[in-house]
Structure 1
């Protein structure tokens, strides 16, 4: 069968789909990644084939988030309105409005995506939850379609609350959002809104069972397999560390700046305090962001794939993103999480702590002393290594991407129009 992945044009949204895309391709299926043309080279470096479309200003803006700090700063207000824990009684109206605004960025690209689908005729469209035009394009061309999650299902969780909302307490701005988003995409195409346009005909979820948001959708579980791009292994990564190696990684998108602002501490202060521990500290950040010469036991690298460095690490400090937390889980590495809210980071931190796989340092309290104390504890107390090992086994119990392919084939037979 032909499988089209439709992604939000950003590296952080591409990498989570790569293991399943390769699993499908290795079992004889044809695979394409539909995305903004600026993603062509990044997709090609994964060994997959890009299907470029949607050269709109909205999508170009999104694709530049990887490289343009000014674009990241523009996201600050929106970022603060998207974070959820997905727990009973949690307010969601503001987050819903923020998500709808984000989803609307893909609307101008719909015609281009429909043209791609009509030309290539996919049997299945696996779409990013933030790319709202993908299920519409799938409906137009008759393909089966499903969401492929890269994090907590905030949208699905909020959708169920939207459907069950009390009109007396729901702001008018929230009540009309679905019509506002989908009417321009459905008009003139003979389509009517169905819930599957928001939540997929089913959902592929690569998060551990206990991490999943409580929803009632048809969920196809899949193991998280880390992918961080290709490249070669640096000499220092291959060398066994002479002391415990600790990775300080805050992902992409300005999380380090946000953490520094919230804690009121500069990066030099934080790194300097951590360097006083008997560890080898690997810090992933641009060299320009570090003032002066780093201490002898600190290595500053702009980027190193997590899959390369984590196997040699004794601990990792991070911002609470799914990609880093689950990659550390795959390798059984204890974690120190200073959650910087963007999507579900606070909930990720709670999961790590509940599983005994690490400690949480609130971002407002993430001083050098607090982080150093947490690192000392996860290195010195055996229970954290045991908790990380248990978390690793839990991840391994999920079906691998290649084991999910038969279930996808069955669902395509059921849903293809």
Structure 2
């Protein structure tokens, strides 16, 4: 069959798709990946065929044009979690459709529909922010599925919206997302159905202890790490003489906090490997002698050599570390993963495979003390090993292909 992947131009979203795309190709299926034109090189780097659609527009470009939006996102990301109310989900849907869904999808819908009608895919796989994939599938009669790069907070939010929505909504409380999708379905000769929001089925590679279930049809598959082109450095092929601690805090790590953390770990008999972009090293100043700074190193090669990994709760980093059974210390130093961070961190710490520390005064001391706990208390490594076993028990992407073939045949033309 022909399978069309559709993705937002962000590595986190796309990298989660790559192992399944290659599993489908390995099973003999044709695969293409559609995204905004500026992302084609990233798709090609993964050895996949890119289909440039629409115009380049991303959150990064929006933030460049409107820096105040960054502060709004910080405020939203720091809001405390609470039981959702109708007012919460109503406003969230209205606001997200107004800027996020339109910002991402409007520039690519028409080109994606045109390609889909010409290429005639049997299955369209879209990550949960690329609703253009569902629109294109409706327009050409293909089956379609969401592929999660993070726990399914999207599906759960939609379920809460439908559950909390009054039977007779007041003026101004219409289902903004459904109306927006319906307008495109109508434009291309189809009708809106709820699967345009959450997929006819959902591909989920998170284990039970880390996932969210929105009561949908899920295809469960194993997480396989992919981080783009990489070279394993020579020093990583030699086993460490002391416990190795990896630190990877994403692109928005604060230099002051990182400097304090590195200083605190200098007091321990450990080796520290910290990923820091070259253009940000100067802000750190001198680093302790037990610290190795690298601009990038493939996690799938680094993590198995580590005793502890310190990170920012990014979905890919957390899943990769979990797959290798390494205890984790999670810090909140960046915006990456803010919306899914509570679920991921709660799942990780709730089943005992790691601990979480919030930044603030004394963060260096807190990190050092918790690293000692993770190194010395056997229960953390035992729980990390149990989480690894849970992940390995899921079917591989290749083993999931048959189920995808069945579901695509069942849903095609609906």
Name the TM-score, length of structure 1 as normaliser: 0.89
Which of 43, 64, 77 lines up with 2:72 in the alignment?
77
**Aligned counterparts of 2:68 and 2:44: Cα–Cα separation in 1:** 28
Aligned to 2:394: 398
**Aligned counterparts of 1:154 and 1:312: Cα–Cα separation in 2:** 32
Q: 1:228 to 1:121 in 2, by over 3 A?
A: same
Q: How does 1:38-187 map to 2 (within 5 A)?
A: 38-55=38-55, 59-62=56-59, 74-78=69-73, 80-81=75-76, 89=84, 92-100=89-97, 101-105=99-103, 106-167=105-166, 175-179=174-178, 181-187=180-186
Indicate the SS of the match to 2:187.
coil
Indicate the SS of the match to 1:266.
helix
**Aligned counterparts of 1:89 and 1:405: Cα–Cα separation in 2:** 36
CA deviation digits over 1:59-107, x for unaligned, max 9?
A: 4334769xx9888984452365368999855754454345433222212
Deviation at 1:242, TM superposition (A): 1.6
Which of 280, 285, 290 lines up with 2:276 in the alignment?
285
Indicate the SS of the match to 2:16.
helix
Contact preservation (8 Å) 1:10, 1:62: no
Q: How does 1:314-329 map to 2 (within 5 A)?
A: 314-329=307-322
CA deviation digits over 1:164-197, x for unaligned, max 9?
A: 2243997866534225532542343232221010
Contact preservation (8 Å) 1:248, 1:318: yes
Q: Is the deviation greater in 134-143 or in 291-300?
A: 291-300
**Aligned counterparts of 2:374 and 2:163: Cα–Cα separation in 1:** 43
Q: 1:41 to 1:403 in 2, by over 3 A?
A: same
**Aligned counterparts of 1:248 and 1:295: Cα–Cα separation in 2:** 14
**Aligned counterparts of 1:328 and 1:61: Cα–Cα separation in 2:** 28
Deviation at 1:393, TM superposition (A): 0.2
> Is 1:310 aligned with 2:307?
no
Indicate the SS of the match to 1:247.
strand
Q: 1:336 to 1:51 in 2, by over 3 A?
A: same
Q: 1:96 to 1:122 in 2, by over 3 A?
A: same
Which of 255, 266, 289 lines up with 1:275 in the alignment?
266
> Is 1:36 aligned with 2:36?
yes
Contact preservation (8 Å) 1:133, 1:185: no
Aligned to 1:357: 353
CA RMSD of aligned residues (A): 2.7
Q: 1:198 to 1:168 in 2, by over 3 A?
A: closer
Name the TM-score, length of structure 2 as normaliser: 0.90
* Unmatched segments (≥5 aa) in structure 1: none
Q: 1:387 to 1:308 in 2, by over 3 A?
A: same
Q: 1:298 to 1:174 in 2, by over 3 A?
A: farther
Indicate the SS of the match to 2:164.
coil
Q: 1:99 to 1:278 in 2, by over 3 A?
A: farther
> Is 1:344 aligned with 2:356?
no
CA deviation digits over 1:355-409, x for unaligned, max 9?
A: 2111111244671111111111101111111111111001011111001100000
Q: 1:280 to 1:42 in 2, by over 3 A?
A: same
